[in-house]
């Protein structure tokens, strides 16, 4: 899977198997409800509603059969991990906390990525180069890169 370590896959498989109480190889609504209720009780959260459980199944169930199999579960956890990494990176790059990356912040990001690839300090890219990157990444055309645009750019890099 690449994104999840062997230890993480082993741990997640164990947790999946604990939730799959009927040992069918997939988790249905009642099994997910029981697992989430146990977590909620342990952590002091409210139990999820039927709709919340249905929404979770819909988000994870890529086959559309109303059940979550191990592959779907692992892929979902890997996706969440990647999006958490992207979120942390976005927050680090968005130094002014505006919720968007401007040309100055993009210039710093490009410099950091370039230096990490070659392993030495480099001159920052020219403003014209930054403007080209900004134009390429700014799907909305508003002159900045929002989280969705940033994720579209970064996710393939993280997976690689």
pLDDT tens digits, one per residue of 87-133? 999 999 999 999 999 999 999 988 988 888 778 888 889 999 999 99
pTM of the model: 0.76
**Alpha-helix residue ranges (DSSP H) falling in 62-121:** 70-93, 103-118
CB 33 within 8 A of CB 53: yes
Q: What is the pLDDT of residue 121?
A: 85
Q: Which of 34-38, 55-59, 68-72 has the highest mean pLDDT?
A: 68-72
- Is the pLDDT assigned to residue 1 strictly greater than 60? no
Confidence of residue 41 (pLDDT cuts 50, 70, 90): confident
Length of the chain: 160
Q: What is the pLDDT of residue 123?
A: 86
Burial class (CB in 10 A: 0-12, 13-18, 19+), 96: exposed
Q: What is the pLDDT of residue 159?
A: 80
Q: What is the pLDDT of residue 150?
A: 95
Copy the structure tokens of residue 13.
């498989």
Confidence of residue 38 (pLDDT cuts 50, 70, 90): confident
Q: What is the pLDDT of residue 160?
A: 76
């Amino acid at each position: 899977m690449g994104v999840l370590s062997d230890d993480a896959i082993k741990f997640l498989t164990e947790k999946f198997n604990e939730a799959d109480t009927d040992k069918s190889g997939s988790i249905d609504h009642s099994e997910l409800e029981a697992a989430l209720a146990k977590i909620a009780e342990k952590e002091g959260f409210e139990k999820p509603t039927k709709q919340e459980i249905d929404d979770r199944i819909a988000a994870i169930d890529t086959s559309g059969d109303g059940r979550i199999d191990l592959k779907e579960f692992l892929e979902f956890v890997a996706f969440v991990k990647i999006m958490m990494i992207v979120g942390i990176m976005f927050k680090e790059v968005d130094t002014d906390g505006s919720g968007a990356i401007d040309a100055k912040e993009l210039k710093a990001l490009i410099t950091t990525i370039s230096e990490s690839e070659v392993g030495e300090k480099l001159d920052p890219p020219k403003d014209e180069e930054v403007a080209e990157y900004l134009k390429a990444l700014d799907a909305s055309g508003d002159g900045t890169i929002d989280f969705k645009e940033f994720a579209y750019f970064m996710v393939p890099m993280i997976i690689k």
